Structure 1
Amino acid sequence: MRRIPATPLALGLAGLIPFLWGAATLIFPALQSWGAGTLGARFVGPYVQLAYGSVILSFMSGVLWGFATKTTGAVAATGYALSVLPALWAFFFVGGGPVSAATYLIAGFVGLLGLDWLFWRQELAPPWWMSLRVLLTVVVVGCLVVTIL
């Protein structure tokens, strides 16, 4: 694992805000009440986590697609095919109630981490990629567990 450059680290950590906020509003009812009254109900609790989590899985499909462009032939074809899986996962499986959706999002993010590792192992991702992705995935999964509990 390598040191993460400052910009990707800062942006990655900023991307955790909706997950952390959603978990905080589940843990602290007064914060949820304030957030719902100020920001609207879709920006608190599981709603913000589930909507944002689906967006992030789709975004990460694009990131992986970009990694696939760094190679050719069968490796590229496999990379392109694998890169669409997180977006398809979010589209087909994230729905229903908050517990079910959060559970599927957790599975999606853990699966994404496996894809991250595969692209990183093929040296298509930056050397520091797994350091960043493990950190972000641990926090995201922890926040989604709050929704399940």
Structure 2
Amino acid sequence: MQERQIPNAPLSLGLAGLIPFVWGALSFLIPDLALWGTQVFGPRFVGPYIQLFYGAIILSFMSGVLWGFATKANGQQAAIGYALSTIPALWAFFMTGGGPVSAGTNLMFGFAGLLLLDYTFFSWGLTPRWWMRLRLLLTIIVLASLSVGVMF
């Protein structure tokens, strides 16, 4: 396997982690699906509601991932890495209130910003070589999914 090829486990788990985002978009666009989802799972698990709740969790999770990468750095770079790693969780905490459109928009900015942080840690050599290929793929799908609740 090439060093830049995404291993099966992270790729599969990353794609599976997209399910709440994609499901939220589909249940927003297809009223019958939303009705079925509401009856089966409850109202919190359809449309933008699942996206917003899950998106805040994932940004917080990604803070932990970045923190893990920061442990590979030394000195001032480590200190900067630790500080940067807290941004996604703090963004999720402070910026996801105020209604579904503003929260969704802020999540979109959060995930776009996370991609920049991913690139920073990647450029410092702290991530696997395949990291940006995975993160770009996942981020594009997350942003597309969140945009459904923001734009429609």
**Structures share a fold, TM > 0.5?**
yes
Query: Structure 1, residues 101-139: CA drift from partner, whole Å, max 9, x if none?
Result: 000000000000000000000010000000000000000
Secondary structure of 1:126's counterpart equals coil
Q: What RMSD in Å do the two structures reach over aligned CA positions?
A: 0.9
Residue aligning to 1:36: 38
The reply on whether 1:15 has 2:40 as its aligned counterpart is no
Gaps of 5+ in 1: none
Secondary structure of 1:74's counterpart equals helix
Pick one of 86, 100, 108 that aligns with 2:110.
108
Residue aligning to 1:134: 136
Which AA in structure 1 matches 2:38?
A: A
List structure 1 segments (4+ residues) > 2 angstroms apart after TM superposition.
none
Residue aligning to 1:143: 145
Residue aligning to 1:5: 7
Residue aligning to 1:27: 29
Pick one of 123, 126, 142 that aligns with 1:124.
126
Residue aligning to 2:88: 86
List aligned pairs for 1:40-51, cutoff 5 A: 40-51=42-53
TM-score (norm 1): 0.99
Pick one of 55, 66, 69 that aligns with 1:67.
69
Cα deviation, residue 4, structure 1:
0.5
- Counterpart-to-counterpart distance in 2, 1:111 and 1:71: 21
Cα deviation, residue 51, structure 1:
0.2
- Counterpart-to-counterpart distance in 2, 1:38 and 1:113: 34
Which AA in structure 2 matches 1:76?
A: A
Cα deviation, residue 3, structure 1:
1.2
How many pairs are equivalent?
Answer: 149
Gaps of 5+ in 2: none
Cα deviation, residue 71, structure 1:
1.3
Tell me the percent identity.
62
- Counterpart-to-counterpart distance in 2, 1:147 and 1:111: 19
Secondary structure of 2:38's counterpart equals helix
Which AA in structure 2 matches 1:116?
A: D
TM-score (norm 2): 0.97
